[in-house]
Amino acid sequence: MPNRQYEKGYRGELYTRDALRKIGFKAERSAASHGPWDVVGVRGDAVVLVQCKRGGRPTPCDWKTLTELQTPPGAIKLLLWMPDGLQQGRILYCADQSGDISLPAWCASLGWQYGPPPRQQALRLS
């Protein structure tokens, strides 16, 4: 029996990959990498690194990893949260190497918009 959480995340990654392809990106899933990026998209004017989250909000640990990770110049980091299904993507974080940036216009063409950042909370290690 397949893992339902895996399938939910997999469908979110495929949706994201296909959405980027529709607007001219060469996009691929980073399958089974367990790395920080689920989807990588490249086109002439942009490189996009996307962390996809389905269902529950990203944890403070997810947030810290994403914000502190160094990227190549010109690459855009996105945290895409899809709490209410695949058509309701909300960008929780958008940054390049220099820090936060405004949302690229192509995000709006996909129906993705800025949402509130995840609530920062102390991590319990016990």
List, for residues 80-119, the tens digit of each pLDDT value.
888 766 566 777 777 777 776 777 888 888 878 777 555 5
Domain 4-114 CATH (choose: 3.30.200.20, 3.40.50.300, 2.60.40.10, 3.40.1350.10): 3.40.1350.10
Q: pLDDT digits over 19-67, tens only?
A: 999 999 999 998 776 778 899 999 987 899 988 888 777 777 777 777 7
Whether 41 and 27 have beta carbons less than 8 Å apart is answered as yes
Distance CA 72, CA 111 (A): 26
Tell me the whole-structure pTM to 2 decimals. 0.80
Distance CA 52, CA 39 (A): 8
* CA distances (Å), origin 33, targets 59, 60, 68: 19, 21, 19
> Residue 102: its pLDDT value, please?
76
